[in-house]
């Protein structure tokens, strides 16, 4: 399987299956379609897609690297009970970077913010 078809498949996996999967998760799904693919190949493809700005690497969640097909600015929320990662729209705090600049003089070029707590699903299953 050539490189562009691998990338196509990875992007399809990211879009269709789960938001914010780890490389291991992507690998498990890809193995079903390409039984001889290696984890290293999946990692390399994911990192290259992230470097090209097509997907985003998120490292602030739970120690594992996750990948996100949504490259627009947004925040994340990780549930401490089910470990599911939720997107939080950027407009909950659209001026955060501006405020950091005004209050500290530090110019933010990117951020990787993750809130932690309990998701609605887990709140209802106590």
Binding site for Zn ion (CB under 5 A): 68, 70, 79, 81-82, 87, 119, 122
- Please say which residue, 41 or 87, places its beta carbon nearer to Zn ion: 87
- Please say which residue, 31 or 87, places its beta carbon nearer to Zn ion: 87
Can you tell me the distance from the alpha carbon of 22 to that of 58, in angstroms, rounded to the nearest whole number? 9
Can you tell me the distance from the alpha carbon of 50 to that of 6, in angstroms, rounded to the nearest whole number? 14
Question: Least distance to Zn ion from the beta carbon of 52, Å?
Answer: 18
- Please say which residue, 37 or 118, places its beta carbon nearer to Zn ion: 118
Question: Least distance to Zn ion from the beta carbon of 102, Å?
Answer: 26
CB atoms under 10 Å from CB of 30, counted, come to: 21
Helix (H, G, I), strand (E, B) or coil at 49: helix
């Amino acid at each position: 399987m050539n490189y562009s078809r691998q990338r196509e498949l990875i992007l399809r996996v990211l879009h269709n299956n789960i938001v914010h999967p780890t490389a291991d998760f992507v690998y498990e799904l890809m193995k079903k379609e390409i039984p001889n693919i290696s984890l290293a190949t999946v990692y390399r493809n994911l990192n290259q897609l992230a470097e090209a700005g097509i997907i985003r690497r998120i490292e602030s969640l739970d120690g594992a690297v996750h990948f996100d097909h949504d490259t627009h600015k947004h925040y994340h929320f990780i549930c401490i009970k089910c470990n599911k990662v939720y997107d939080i729209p950027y407009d909950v705090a659209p001026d955060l970077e501006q405020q950091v600049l005004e209050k500290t003089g530090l110019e933010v070029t990117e951020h990787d913010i993750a809130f932690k707590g309990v998701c609605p699903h887990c709140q209802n299953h106590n």
